[in-house]
């Protein structure tokens, strides 16, 4: 048992840490957030140059061959800086799915382009009626000649507004809800039959509702056999979100602690009041839980399927529960300043709370955990 | 980064398991698992078995008879003991007074006291709290006045756990009434047979006799029973408070309790179905399960940090709060699992030889008493609010 990072992981941590410290001051982030695109393409190029876009991919594609812990290190650093760029959408969710399902030619062209920073992707999986259920897929794909035509609607597609290509989950068989008959396709975002309604999310990111009307798509992997790979990519996505939340929660705690040491009322720093001290301690306790569960999730991707499922559900649920407490308390302890757009901590609070709305919320994952209560396992 | 045990750590776990399989008396494990009373004999019998194995003193230096285990080994040992239903080793002798004697005592004191602690020949209790000194321990008033070769001790201690069985008590007493609060305190070892000592039982809200009041009326204590220097007793007390407490999170106990709770919830019927299928109950079970996973990982992180040479300080305060709240939550769920049968109170059924008929299901006999008893967890050992004060000061710098 060993919780230390190895040399490569530590280097990765330092690289991301430096990038976020130097390249992501609050005003620079605000400028990127309020730009038309909603993030910085320059920053994206820096990610490429530093090798961050290749973390989960094979060295053949210029990647780093990283697993859960490496992804955790990157996402935690991004969480500390509230990074806006479409890393989760492109690399973690779409890229790893292409990596798992694509043929050699597809991987050669698409993964290499991701790693080089030339291709941004979004995963169009969830649907308006399906909430957090990735097996709820009404979108249909039909084979026509060498390719497929896809029709349906996809909901709150993270960074779907600016993606060059979309990885679309559509049904080639089976009922609307179910793992059988799910297929994955690559679709050009500006292909005919694709209409996108892009918007800003409350936490400053971008997303889109996407309507497919006989849009042409290229199949990834076997027809009807995408479920396992999709779930593996979503699992990676959960690790990344947990780590991002832990990083953001750390900063929210640090900023709140600094604020209550500095803010004077009744002639003393408000951090002298025991009522506030205990709330601050509770925030820190929630942060420790979030860190612990992020590590558990990151180190469980290769565990037996049910054990993996149970640990990931528990991790995401804790993040939802602890994250909400930290976010709300961060605002509360900042008082009126916590309500302000100009105060950085309000942006951290928004991102932390919205992470609970991505890839399954507290309720969704607790139900998942309830279905796995009988799975006996030892964390160590 | 690897959250799994190494082959060496797994081999150690096997060694512990094989010891527990062969040496833990079945009658004692059964009492622990069923929440029945353990007598003094049970505890002493088990501790003597541990000592025969050389495993009684986890935290002592090897030269005094300690195990020499790493933090991870200690953690594995405690986890396995909890899983098997081994009684918790009583801390007062081996884990409280002994480390103070080893650190601050004379050679003669070490030779006099340590072997008997190791072999559980002497039962120790703790004389810290007083009616007017709880969380504010340094406010203690029991005084010791030097007269020739003796101290004359007068005053009162309270919440003395299992003091009714004790042969000896270690006490914080005031030796300089004029010094500042913390500076006039000394650490004294007192034979409970000494004339002038009276032990009175305190009965807790669950009908139990675990704690006592101890009165000192002109009790003569030889000066050689002073540990460390006179008026430096607070240093000993502080040393004990920061002393390694690997088991403070109680992960093993919570895991065993949760496992038992699930078994019970599969047997109890509600609305024609097992209780475990009730959405509300299942949701609370899931909540405990995920909080327990978070606690276990946090505990392992602390253990691993200690393994790497870090000194667990105020971090153990986090573990104390999280761990005790979780154990209390599980006792609440047991009470709910019993339903209306949480009400009958049959203290005689807590004895292992009870052969009477249960009013409700067997498991329900002890649940409410246990629930009320476990309220103590967030009060003793520094109340959870005091723990938060410690974290605020030591970690957050507030």
**Of B378, B295, B317, B397, which is closest to residue A277 (Cα–Cα)?**
B397
**Which among B89, B109, B132 is the end of a domain?**
B89
One of 2.40.50.140, 2.40.110.10, 3.40.640.10, 2.60.120.1270 is the CATH number of A121-225, namely 2.40.110.10
- Measure the CA angle with vertex A293, ends A291 and A296; round to 5°: 115
Question: Above 50 in pLDDT, residue A241?
Answer: yes
pLDDT reported for residue A379: 43
**Which among B67, B89, B111 is the end of a domain?**
B89
Substitution target from A12, A274, A287, A289 for chain B, most B beta carbons within 10 A:
A289
State both tokens at A56: 């989960």
Residues A96 and A86: their CA atoms lie apart, in Å, by: 14
Q: Where are the domains of chain A?
A: 7-115, 121-225, 228-371
Question: Above 50 in pLDDT, residue A380?
Answer: no
Residue B191, chain A, CB below 8 Å: the answer is no
Across chain A, the runs of DSSP E, i.e. the strands, are: 121-124, 140-144, 147-158, 165-171, 182-188, 194-200, 206-220, 264-265, 268-269
List for chain A the helix, strand, coil content (%; round to 5): 55, 15, 30
Range of the domain at B170: 123-231
What is the chain B residue with the closest CA to A303? B4
- Measure the CA angle with vertex B170, ends B168 and B175; round to 5°: 130
Look up tokens 């190791």; give the residue.
B118
Q: Is B102 among the domain residues?
A: no
Q: Is B29 among the domain residues?
A: yes
Whether B385 and B253 map to the same domain: the answer is: yes
The per-residue DSSP string of A313-368 comes to HHHHHHHHHHHHHHHHHHHHHHGGGGG-TTSHHHHHHHHHHHHTTSS--HHHHHHH
Residues of B with active-site annotation? 244
Whether B326 and B350 map to the same domain: the answer is: yes
Whether B37 and B160 map to the same domain: the answer is: no
Q: Is B157 among the domain residues?
A: yes
Check: CB of residue B366 under 8 Å from CB of residue B329: no
The torsion angles phi and psi of A262, rounded to 5 degrees, stand at: -100, -40
Check: CB of residue A293 under 8 Å from CB of residue A62: no
Spell out which residues of chain A touch residue B262, defining contact as CB-CB under 8 Å. 373-374
Q: Is B291 among the domain residues?
A: yes
Give how far A25 is from chain B: nearest CA, Å. Answer: 25
Whether B78 and B140 map to the same domain: the answer is: no
Q: What is the pLDDT of residues A85-142, one digit of tens each?
A: 999 999 999 999 999 999 999 999 999 999 999 999 999 999 999 999 999 999 999 9
Cα-based torsion angle of the residue sequence B206, B210, B215, B220 in order, rounded to the nearest 10 degrees: 180
Whether B344 and B261 map to the same domain: the answer is: yes
Helix (H) or strand (E) holding A61: none
Check: CB of residue A207 under 8 Å from CB of residue A156: yes
What is the CB neighbour count within 10 angstroms for residue B54?
12
pLDDT reported for residue B245: 66
Q: What is the pLDDT of residues A148-176, one digit of tens each?
A: 999 999 999 999 999 999 999 999 999 99
Strand bridging mode B168-174 / B124-127? parallel
When the pLDDT of each residue in chain A is averaged and rounded to a whole number, the result is 97
Residue B285, chain A, CB below 8 Å: the answer is yes
Give the torsion sign (CA, A341, A347, A351, A352): negative
What is the CB neighbour count within 10 angstroms for residue B146?
13
What tens-digit pLDDT sequence spans chain B (398 residues)? 889 999 999 999 999 999 999 999 999 999 998 888 999 999 999 999 999 999 999 999 999 999 999 989 999 999 999 999 999 999 999 999 999 999 999 999 999 999 999 999 999 999 999 999 998 999 999 999 999 999 999 999 999 999 999 999 999 999 999 999 999 999 999 999 999 999 999 999 999 999 999 999 999 999 999 999 999 999 999 888 766 566 789 999 999 999 999 999 999 999 999 999 999 999 999 999 999 999 999 999 998 888 888 776 678 899 999 999 999 999 999 999 999 999 999 988 888 888 888 899 989 989 999 999 999 999 998 899 999 999 999 999 99
pLDDT reported for residue B356: 87
Strand bridging mode A165-171 / A121-124? parallel
Q: Which residues contact A59 (CB under 8 A, 6 or more apart)?
A: A65
**Of A58, A186, A47, which is closest to residue A110 (Cα–Cα)?**
A186
Q: Which residues contact A262 (CB under 8 A, 6 or more apart)?
A: A269
pLDDT reported for residue B381: 87
pLDDT reported for residue A171: 98
Give how far A276 is from chain B: nearest CA, Å. Answer: 10
Instruction: Please name the member of B3, B321, B397 whose beta carbon is closest to the beta carbon of A299.
Output: B3
Residue B135, chain A, CB below 8 Å: the answer is no
Spell out which residues of chain B touch residue A318, defining contact as CB-CB under 8 Å. 290-291, 293-294
Instruction: Please name the member of A5, A318, A369 whose beta carbon is closest to the beta carbon of B1.
Output: A5
Residue B77's CATH number: 1.10.540.10
Query: Do the Cβ atoms of A299 and B304 come within 8 Å?
Result: no
Substitution target from A6, A74, A281, A365 for chain B, most B beta carbons within 10 A:
A281
Residues B201 and B196: their CA atoms lie apart, in Å, by: 17
User: What's the domain count of chain B?
Assistant: 3
Q: Is B112 among the domain residues?
A: no
Q: Is B368 among the domain residues?
A: yes
Question: According to CATH, what is the number of the domain A228-371?
Answer: 1.20.140.10
Residue B280's CATH number: 1.20.140.10
Beta bridge partners of A124: A168
pLDDT reported for residue A378: 55
Residue A73, chain B, CB below 8 Å: the answer is no
Whether B62 and B163 map to the same domain: the answer is: no
Check: CB of residue B185 under 8 Å from CB of residue B138: yes
Query: Do the Cβ atoms of B392 and A280 come within 8 Å?
Result: yes
Give how far A43 is from chain B: nearest CA, Å. Answer: 29
Q: Is B110 among the domain residues?
A: no
pLDDT reported for residue B312: 66
Residue B191's CATH number: 2.40.110.10
Q: What is the pLDDT of residues A279-334, one digit of tens each?
A: 999 999 999 999 999 999 999 999 999 999 999 999 999 999 999 999 999 999 99
Question: According to CATH, what is the number of the domain A7-115?
Answer: 1.10.540.10
Whether B20 and B155 map to the same domain: the answer is: no
Q: Is B115 among the domain residues?
A: no
Residue A104, chain B, CB below 8 Å: the answer is no
Query: Do the Cβ atoms of B322 and A373 come within 8 Å?
Result: no
Q: How confident is the model at residue A357 (pLDDT cuts 50, 70, 90)?
A: very high
3-state SS, residue A184: strand
Whether B63 and B193 map to the same domain: the answer is: no
What is the CB neighbour count within 10 angstroms for residue B71?
19
């Amino acid at each position: 048992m060993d919780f230390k990072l190895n040399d490569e992981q530590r280097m990765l941590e330092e690289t991301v840490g430096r990038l976020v410290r130097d390249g992501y001051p609050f005003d620079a982030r605000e400028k990127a957030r309020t730009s038309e695109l909603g993030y910085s393409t320059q920053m994206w190029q820096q990610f490429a140059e530093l090798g961050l876009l290749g973390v989960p991919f094979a060295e053949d594609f210029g990647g780093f061959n990283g697993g859960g812990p490496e992804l955790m290190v990157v996402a935690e650093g991004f969480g500390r800086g509230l990074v806006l760029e479409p890393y989760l959408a492109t690399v973690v969710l779409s890229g790893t799915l292409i990596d798992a399902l694509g043929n050699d030619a597809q991987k050669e062209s698409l993964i290499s382009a991701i790693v080089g920073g030339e291709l941004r992707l979004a995963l169009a999986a969830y649907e308006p009626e399906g909430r957090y259920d990735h097996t709820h897929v009404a979108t249909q794909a039909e084979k026509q000649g060498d390719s497929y035509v896809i029709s349906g609607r996809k909901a709150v597609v993270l960074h779907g507004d600016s993606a060059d290509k979309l990885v679309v989950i559509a049904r080639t068989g089976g009922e609307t809800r179910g793992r059988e008959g799910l297929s994955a396709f690559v679709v050009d975002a500006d292909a005919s039959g694709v209409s996108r309604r892009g918007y800003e999310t409350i936490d400053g990111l971008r997303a889109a509702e996407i309507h497919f009307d006989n849009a042409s798509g290229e199949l990834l992997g076997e027809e009807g056999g995408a479920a396992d790979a999709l779930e593996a990519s979503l699992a990676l996505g959960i690790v990344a979100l947990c780590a991002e939340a832990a990083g953001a929660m750390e900063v929210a705690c640090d900023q709140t602690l600094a604020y209550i040491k500095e803010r004077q009322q009744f002639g003393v720093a408000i951090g002298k009041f025991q009522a506030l001290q205990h709330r601050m301690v509770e925030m820190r306790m929630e942060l420790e839980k979030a860190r612990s569960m992020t590590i558990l999730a990151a180190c469980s991707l290769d565990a037996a399927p049910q054990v993996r499922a149970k640990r990931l559900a528990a991790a995401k649920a804790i993040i939802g529960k602890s994250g909400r407490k930290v976010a709300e308390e961060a605002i509360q302890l900042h008082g009126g300043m916590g309500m302000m757009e100009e105060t950085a901590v309000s942006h951290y609070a928004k991102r932390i709370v919205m992470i609970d709305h991505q890839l399954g919320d507290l309720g969704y994952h607790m139900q998942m955990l309830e279905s796995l209560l009988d799975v006996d396992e030892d964390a160590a | 980064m690897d959250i799994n045990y190494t082959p060496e750590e797994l081999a150690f776990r096997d060694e512990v398991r094989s010891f527990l399989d062969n040496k833990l008396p079945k009658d004692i494990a059964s009492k622990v698992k069923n929440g029945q009373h353990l007598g003094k004999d049970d505890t002493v019998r088990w501790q003597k078995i541990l000592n025969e194995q050389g495993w009684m003193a986890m935290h002592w230096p090897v030269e005094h008879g300690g195990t020499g285990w790493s933090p991870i080994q200690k953690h594995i040992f405690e986890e396995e003991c909890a899983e098997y239903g081994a009684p918790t080793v009583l801390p007062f002798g081996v884990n409280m007074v002994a480390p103070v004697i080893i650190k601050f005592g004379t050679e003669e004191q070490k030779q006099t006291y340590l072997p008997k602690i190791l072999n559980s020949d002497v039962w120790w209790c703790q004389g810290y709290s007083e009616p007017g000194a709880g969380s504010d321990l340094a406010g203690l008033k029991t005084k010791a006045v030097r007269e020739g070769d003796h101290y004359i001790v007068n005053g009162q201690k309270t919440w003395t756990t299992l003091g009714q069985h004790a042969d000896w008590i270690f006490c914080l007493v005031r030796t300089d009434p004029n010094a500042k609060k913390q500076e006039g305190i000394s650490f004294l070892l007192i034979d409970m047979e000494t004339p002038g000592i009276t032990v009175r039982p305190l009965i807790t809200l669950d009908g139990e006799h675990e704690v006592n009041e101890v009165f000192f009326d002109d009790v003569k204590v030889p000066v050689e029973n002073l540990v460390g220097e006179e008026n430096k007793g607070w240093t000993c007390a502080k040393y004990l408070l920061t002393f390694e407490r690997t088991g403070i999170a109680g992960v093993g106990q919570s895991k065993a309790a949760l496992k038992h709770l699930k078994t019970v919830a599969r047997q109890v019927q509600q609305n024609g179905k097992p209780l475990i299928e009730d959405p509300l109950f299942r949701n609370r079970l899931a909540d405990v399960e995920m909080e327990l996973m978070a606690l276990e990982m946090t505990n392992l992180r602390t253990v691993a940090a200690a393994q790497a040479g870090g000194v667990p300080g105020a971090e153990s305060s986090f573990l104390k709060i999280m761990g005790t709240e979780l154990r209390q939550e599980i006792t609440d769920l047991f009470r709910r699992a019993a339903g209306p049968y949480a009400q009958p109170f049959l203290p005689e059924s807590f004895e292992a030889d009870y052969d009477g008929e249960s009013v409700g299901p067997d498991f329900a006999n002890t649940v409410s008493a246990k629930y009320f008893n476990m309220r103590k967890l967030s009060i003793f050992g520094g109340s959870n609010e005091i723990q938060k004060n410690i974290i605020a000061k030591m970690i957050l710098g507030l």
